[in-house]
Amino acid sequence: MIGEKKIPRILKKPGVIKDAIEISIVLLENKLQLLERNDPDTIVAFKEWFGQDDEGAKGIILERIKRVLRVSKKLSVENFKEINDKKSKTKYAEIYPDDELLMVYLGEEFWIAPITGKDSRCGVLIHELSHLNDIGGTFDYTRGESDCLMLARKDPSDALYNADSFEYFIEI
């Protein structure tokens, strides 16, 4: 429309963050309910991503989902900053595992990722929160769908604490 002013992209970012938080909460709540009910498809996916489906492993993931959910409900736009370091700027995001302020640093990849689905903004948020020591204490043992699936087959104990494996289990 002629004469209509475009809203600068920077002003849209708070809305993008709010959407990612809200939809992440829905994804986590849904996966929590499915896993608590031992939904057959969810158990198949659980074994696919973590290489095991015993009660101990399910307990670890159930507790992690509850903790990420609790923290997600407390998040606001103020918990997010953009990565300014040129070397790290091309990442999706990063977080410091012992950060009590829950600051999530967003990189360029976050802004171009889809809101849901594989490697989504919601998945990025869930992934990063799982790194927090008092939430999930996950690591980046491997990244990417095929490498995570291989990790589950070869080393289920590492898959249980791999941030991307947790992300994929929740978002796919």
Q: What is the pLDDT of residues 106-159, one digit of tens each?
A: 999 999 999 999 999 999 999 999 999 999 999 999 999 999 999 999 999 999
pTM to 2 decimals? 0.92
Residue 4 pLDDT > 60, yes or no?
Answer: no
Beta strands in 14-166 (DSSP E): 80-82, 93-95, 104-106
What positions carry a catalytic annotation?
128
Degrees (nearest 5) of the Cα angle 70, 72, 73?
Answer: 70
pLDDT value at residue 22: 97
Task: Please give the pLDDT value at position 90.
Answer: 83
b/e string for 154-167 if b means 16 or more Cβ within 10 A?
eebebbbbbbbbbb
Give the pairing of strands 104-106 and 93-95.
antiparallel
CA dihedral over 108, 110, 111, 114, signed as positive or negative = positive
pLDDT for 9 beyond 60: no
What is the per-residue pLDDT across 61-102, written as a single tens digit (0 to 9) for each?
A: 999 999 999 999 999 999 999 998 877 778 999 999 999 999
Confidence of residue 3 (pLDDT cuts 50, 70, 90): low
pLDDT in tens, 25-59: 999 999 999 999 999 999 999 999 999 999 999 99
